[in-house]
Amino acid sequence: MAARILDGKALALVVRDQVAIGSAAYRLKAGRAPGLTVVLVGHDPASKVYVRNKSNGCRAVGIIGEVVNLPSDVSEQLLIDTIQSLNENPAVDGILVQLPLPSHLDEGRILSVIDPNKDVDGFHVENAGLLAIDKPRFVPCTPLGIRELLVANGIETRGKHAVILGRSQIVGKSMALLLLHKGLGGDATVTVCHSASRDVPELTRQADIVIAAIGKPELVRADWVKPGAVVIDVGIHPKDGGGLRGDVAFEEVAQIASAITPVPGGVGPMTIAMLLKNTLLAANLRLT
């Protein structure tokens, strides 16, 4: 029996409607719209697409979305000065530095400059620490979107074995922490697989929930997946001849899984929706 499709695009529209209502309420209280500024360094085509999608999302929900474009050879000090000016700008509620950065820039140092109360990507060490102790302020958008997808679709996580492929701070580590938290969308038993893990297919076959964020196209095949497992595909890769594919071999895995996210239309739209939600949260927190 074919898997149920977890439609991130449809759920993202629901979240956007909620954010739009919240943005309108915020404007009445604050006398201005919430503001998000994205800092884009260089001309990476994929990053430009992501930033355009974020800007379009802001416009759709009543958030003022600005983009600061800097050349790829920008000095680290100029980038830091740019972020500091945004930290001090009262009209900016959320700041996002689009990753990856050119190799001459220290990503960790750059992210640490962002005001943690404006860090809507959730990558600042203070926000990472709050997530680790189960007192989250801003959660990285992709893991947050995945949890929303699981909860909204009635997928039980309590007591389930979740296997996460990939240990990045952006997805893998943060996702593991969310699934370990107590309450709805949490209370799971979590295994994180990475480049030094042994027999990853066997570990993955033990999972009730598989979250593939390993960055290798169609790595996860049908024989990696336990019948009836839920499969979340975070990967996004171009196909030869056009189109996109994920980290999961969708057609064959969909015949084994009970539920699966498509690429595109699964995790991606939810990531943008969670960024908008985090921006509204940042704006409201600054009012208190």
- Asked if residue 105 lies in contact with residue 73, where contact means CB atoms within 8 angstroms, the answer is no
Q: Give a yes or no: residue 278 inside a domain.
A: no
CATH of the domain at 180: 3.40.50.720
Which pLDDT tens digit goes with each residue over 103-114? 999 999 999 999
Question: Is the same domain home to 84 and 151?
Answer: no
152 lies in the same domain as 95: no
Tell me, yes or no, whether 165 and 204 share the same domain. Answer: yes
Is 19 among the domain residues?
Answer: no
Q: What phi, psi does 65 have (nearest 5°)?
A: -105, 120
Render the burial of 60-81: b for 16+ CB within 10 Å, e for the rest.
Answer: bbbbbbebbebeeebeeeebbe
| CA max distance for the chain | 56
Question: Among residues 98, 115, 119, 173, which one is catalytic?
Answer: 98
- With cut-offs at 50, 70 and 90, classify the pLDDT of residue 46: confident
Q: Collect all residues with Cβ–Cβ distance below 8 Å to 234 and sequence separation of at least 6.
A: 142, 146, 166, 171, 211, 212, 213, 246, 247, 267
Q: Residue 47 burial (CB < 10 Å; 0-12/13-18/19+)? A: middle
Report yes or no on 126 lying in a domain.
no
Taking only the tens place, the pLDDT of each residue in 235-270 is: 999 998 889 999 999 999 999 999 999 999 999 999
Do 234 and 186 sit in the same domain of this protein?
yes
Is residue 98 annotated as a catalytic residue, yes or no? Answer: yes
Q: What Cα–Cα distance (Å) separates residue 130 from each residue in 9, 99, 122, 177?
A: 29, 22, 10, 11
Query: Residue type for 127, please?
Result: N
| Sign of the torsion formed by the C-alpha atoms of 134, 140, 143 and 146 | positive
Q: Is residue 277 part of a domain?
A: no
Q: Are residues 42 and 95 in the same domain?
A: yes
- Tell me the whole-structure pTM to 2 decimals: 0.96
Question: What residue numbers bound the domain in which 158 lies?
Answer: 141-267
Within-domain flag for 227: yes
Spatial distance between the Cα atoms of 284 and 29, rounded to a whole number of angstroms: 10
Q: Catalytic: 54?
A: yes
Q: Confirm if 132 and 178 have CB atoms less than 8 A apart.
A: no
Torsion of CA 104, 140, 4, 14, to 10 degrees: -120
Q: In what order do the strands lie in the sheet with 259-260?
A: 4-5, 259-260, 230-233, 209-212, 161-165, 189-193
Count structural domains, the chain: 2
CA atoms of 145 and 11, how far apart (whole Å): 10
Region 147-167: mean pLDDT is 98
How high is the pLDDT of residue 45?
84
Do residue 160 and residue 255 come from a single domain?
yes
What is the mean predicted confidence (pLDDT) over 266-276?
97
Q: Per the residue annotation, which of 54, 118, 173, 277 is the catalytic one? A: 54
Whether residue 95 sits in one domain with residue 54: yes
149 within domain boundaries: yes
Contact 248, 276 (CB under 8 A): no
CB 76 within 8 A of CB 106: yes
Tokens 């999961």, located at residue: 248
Judge contact between 182 and 154, C-beta under 8 A.
no
Q: Which among 121, 208, 233, 247 is annotated as catalytic?
A: 121
Same-domain check for residues 258 and 181: yes
- Tokens standing for 266? 């699964």
Domain CATH for 81: 3.40.50.10860
3-state helix/strand/coil string of 39-106: EEECCCHHHHHHHHHHHHHHHHHCCEEEEEEECCCCCHHHHHHHHHHHHCCCCCCEEEECCCCCCCCC
The 10s digit of each residue's pLDDT in 92-131 is: 999 999 999 999 999 999 999 999 999 999 999 999 999 9
Q: What stretch of H or E contains 148? A: helix 141-152
In a domain, 147, yes or no: yes
Instruction: Flag whether 188 is in a domain.
Output: yes
Residues 74 and 164 in one domain: no
Average pLDDT score over the chain = 96
Q: Are residues 182 and 263 in the same domain?
A: yes
Whether residue 58 sits in one domain with residue 157: no
For residues 208 and 145, membership in a common domain is answered with yes
